[in-house]
Amino acid sequence: MTKAASGGRVKHTPIRTCIGCRQAEGKRTFVRIVRTPQGVVIDPTGKLAGRGAYVHRSPACWEAALKGNRLEQALRTKLTPEERTSLAAYYEEIKADE
């Protein structure tokens, strides 16, 4: 293990890739979208069980993820109109915050 300057261990930062822009960063910088048995939902904790995909909080990444079938490919499922509507509503919240 690599040691920090203070002599302790360096904490491992999980790296994930945005499905919108394809850039890899630390997991905490993303919004996780997860496929559960109940459907596709936003996972604010990042700990829900199920297949997940990560998107930056930027409107450009959300547009790219929702525009084509990138999200469907990443989650290996078909999005229902209701799921698309809920994800688009979350995207609108993000856009309003900027």
Q: What mean pLDDT value characterizes the chain?
A: 90
pLDDT digits (tens, 9 = 90+) for 34-67: 999 999 999 989 999 999 999 999 999 999 999 8
Q: What is the CATH classification number for the domain harbouring 30?
A: 3.30.1230.10
The pLDDT score that the predictor gives to residue 8 is: 82
- Split into its structural domains, the chain has a count of 1
pLDDT band at residue 4 using 50, 70 and 90 as cut-offs: low
Structural domain that includes position 40: 15-97
Indicate the pTM of the whole model: 0.85
CA distances from 90 to 33, 56, 62, 69 (A): 11, 12, 9, 18
Residue closest to 31 by CA, chosen among 48, 20, 12, 46 = 46
In a domain, 50, yes or no: yes
The pLDDT score that the predictor gives to residue 1 is: 46
